[in-house]
Amino acid sequence: MHLDHFPHGPAAVGADARRPDGSRRALRIGLGGPVGSGKTATVAALCRALRDRLSLAVVTNDIYTREDAEFLLREAVLPPERITAVETGACPHTAIRDDISANLEAVEDLEDEVGPLDLILVESGGDNLTATFSKGLVDAQIFVIDVAGGDDIPRKGGPGVTTADLLVVNKTDLAPHVGSDLARMAADAKAQRAELPVVFQSLRSEHGVADVAAWVRARLAAWTA
């Protein structure tokens, strides 16, 4: 997919875009969405797609465990020092939206310890359709849903579906098995999101994460411009 498919506004370089030493900090992209939709699998695929050209790191958020980080470590998607886990306690959305201090500390520590970094991916612990990231924590957010969660999810809306910078509808390979109507999901997503982009993907297909990786590269190009 060509990058023109992902129009974006002027590079939003926030006041905090520089680190204390004056260098540009990494672009921070959050991945949210329901448990099991494929956030960790998307993070793993993005690391594989981007790691040769970019300096990147990952922060995971789990409620009581470090399971997502351990999966990424086992899969060796990045060197271990580039993967950090935040244990969020009972409320995964609080840690990415209301009290972001543990996550901010994690991203800043990564930049101090393994920097300079181009990109930090922050995976949310996964919750429901209302969990979105604070703009104080991430510069852009991806919301991941999947076709097996029901093809009415785009129609139901909620801030993740309607406002995320990119909506990913994952596991399209499962659509025939669960009776999900992809055309309907696409029409409903379009109605909710107007011009905001939507990617349908199957990580089981050869094309895999390529469209999301192209979107991330476009955001990064705008960030560094």
Ligand X SMILES: Nc1nc2c(ncn2[C@@H]2O[C@H](COP(=O)(O)OP(=O)(O)O)[C@@H](O)[C@H]2O)c(=O)[nH]1
Check if the beta carbon of residue 39 is closer than 8 Å to that of residue 50: no
**41 versus 147: smaller Cβ distance to Mg ion:** 41
CA 191 to chain CA mean position, Å:
22
Q: Tell me which of 28, 39, 97, 171 binds Mg ion, using CB under 5 A.
A: 39
**162 versus 202: smaller Cβ distance to ligand X:** 202
Q: What residues from 106 to 135 belong to the interface with ligand X (CB under 6 A)?
A: 126
Q: Tell me which of 13, 174, 196, 210 binds ligand X, using CB under 6 A.
A: 174
The amino acid sitting at 33 is G
Q: Tell me which of 8, 11, 13, 36 binds ligand X, using CB under 6 A.
A: 36
**92 versus 115: smaller Cβ distance to ligand X:** 92
**168 versus 222: smaller Cβ distance to ligand X:** 168
How many Cβ atoms are within 10 Å of 15's Cβ, its own excluded?
Answer: 5
Helix ranges restricted to H, 88-206: 92-97, 101-114, 153-156, 159-163, 175-178, 182-193
Query: What b/e readout covers 36-59, taking b as 16+ CB neighbours within 10 angstroms?
Result: ebbbbbbbbbbbbbbeeebebbbb
Shortest distance, position 43 Cβ to Mg ion, whole Å: 8
**53 versus 74: smaller Cβ distance to ligand X:** 74
Of Mg ion, ligand X, none, which one does residue 36 interact with (CB within 5 to 8 Å by kind)? ligand X
Nearest to 147 by CA among 197, 192, 188: 188
Sheet holding 198-200, edge to edge: 83-87, 56-62, 119-123, 27-32, 140-146, 166-170, 198-200
Q: What residues from 64 to 93 belong to the interface with Mg ion (CB under 5 A)?
A: 68
Binding of Mg ion at residue 202 (CB under 5 A)?
no
Q: Tell me which of 26, 28, 34, 40 binds Mg ion, using CB under 5 A.
A: 40
Q: Tell me which of 151, 192, 202, 219 binds ligand X, using CB under 6 A.
A: 202
How many Cβ atoms are within 10 Å of 108's Cβ, its own excluded?
Answer: 15
Of Mg ion, ligand X, none, which one does residue 193 interact with (CB within 5 to 8 Å by kind)? none
